[in-house]
Amino acid sequence: MSAVVRFFPAGDRALLVELGDGIDPETNRRVRALLQLLDRIPVAGVRDVIPSYRSLLVDYDPAVVDRGELEARLRERLGRLDQASLPPPRMVEIPTLYGGDMGPDLEFVARHHGLTPEEVVKLHAGGEYLVYLVGFSPGFPFLGGLPRELATPRLDNPRLRVPAGSVAIGGEQTGVYPFPTAGGWRLIGRTPLQLFDPGRSEPFLLAPGDLVRFVPISREEFHRLQQDAVSKGLGSGD
């Protein structure tokens, strides 16, 4: 069964293709299937594609491909979504040092839900999360699958600087900050992994469709992994 696909012009150089109405793994899978078909057999004039929860934004040059032609090419691929062969999802483990100075809001999250910090870690690390999309800022994963009992309101006053690698909860979402930025999510831990490093052969750690698991680590492991990243020239280890 497939929902009705809707096309909306997003200006004269982008076409928004909506494949469903809500946030669910099946709609997102169809988004990725269409993306794969576009990657495999590119349409001339398509310059970039942004997959998100339930839609693709197709960025095109109307001097190369006209809107009717583009829509026809997209409809062809939409008719063959079943032929996309999405690889089995990669499971990416994110080693995380929970609590303390690395996760200053862990205590708050625990108190908020009447849990102990250990129970919060167990629940958070026990979850399996789907990367619905990567975006907003470079390498930032939007993860689905946060256990309901961990949903926590954001800070009233966002921090001016959230350290890179911070693992956080914002409302019903959880994620990892790739860069030091301002942010209003509750920080419960930190990973020594770099989500984005332009010097790596694969600059981005996560891609849409990946599955993520957070693995609790000790402070010693954190520092060892951070050292590894630095000695391999994989990054600054910030």
Catalog residues that contact another protein under the rule CB under 8 A.
8-14, 16, 22-23, 35, 47-57, 59, 62-63, 66-67, 133-140, 142, 179, 196, 198, 203-204, 207-208
Closest separation in Å from C-beta 180 to another protein: 11
Q: Is 230 helix (H, G, I), strand (E, B) or coil?
A: helix
In the chain, what is the straight-line distance between the N-terminal and C-terminal CA atoms, in Å?
46
- Cβ-in-10-Å burial (0-12, 13-18, 19+) of 22 comes to exposed
Q: Which is nearer to another protein, 156 or 220 (CB)?
A: 156
Q: Which is nearer to another protein, 58 or 110 (CB)?
A: 58
Closest separation in Å from C-beta 199 to another protein: 9
Structural contact between residues 189 and 214, judged by C-beta atoms closer than 8 angstroms: yes
Closest separation in Å from C-beta 77 to another protein: 16
Q: Is 39 helix (H, G, I), strand (E, B) or coil?
A: helix
Q: Which is nearer to another protein, 61 or 128 (CB)?
A: 61
Instruction: For residues 144 and 148, give the distance between their C-alpha atoms in angstroms, rounded to a whole number.
Output: 11
Closest separation in Å from C-beta 41 to another protein: 16
If phi > 0 it is left, if psi is from -120 to 50 it is alpha, else beta; for residue 45 that is left
Q: Which is nearer to another protein, 39 or 149 (CB)?
A: 39
Instruction: For residues 139 and 142, give the distance between their C-alpha atoms in angstroms, rounded to a whole number.
Output: 10
Q: What is the DSSP string of 170-226?
A: EBTEEEE-SS-EEE-SEEEEE-SS-SB-TTSSS-BS--TT-EEEEEE--HHHHHHHH
Closest separation in Å from C-beta 24 to another protein: 11
Closest separation in Å from C-beta 36 to another protein: 12
Q: Which is nearer to another protein, 198 or 233 (CB)?
A: 198
Name the DSSP letter for residue 64. T
Q: Which is nearer to another protein, 8 or 101 (CB)?
A: 8
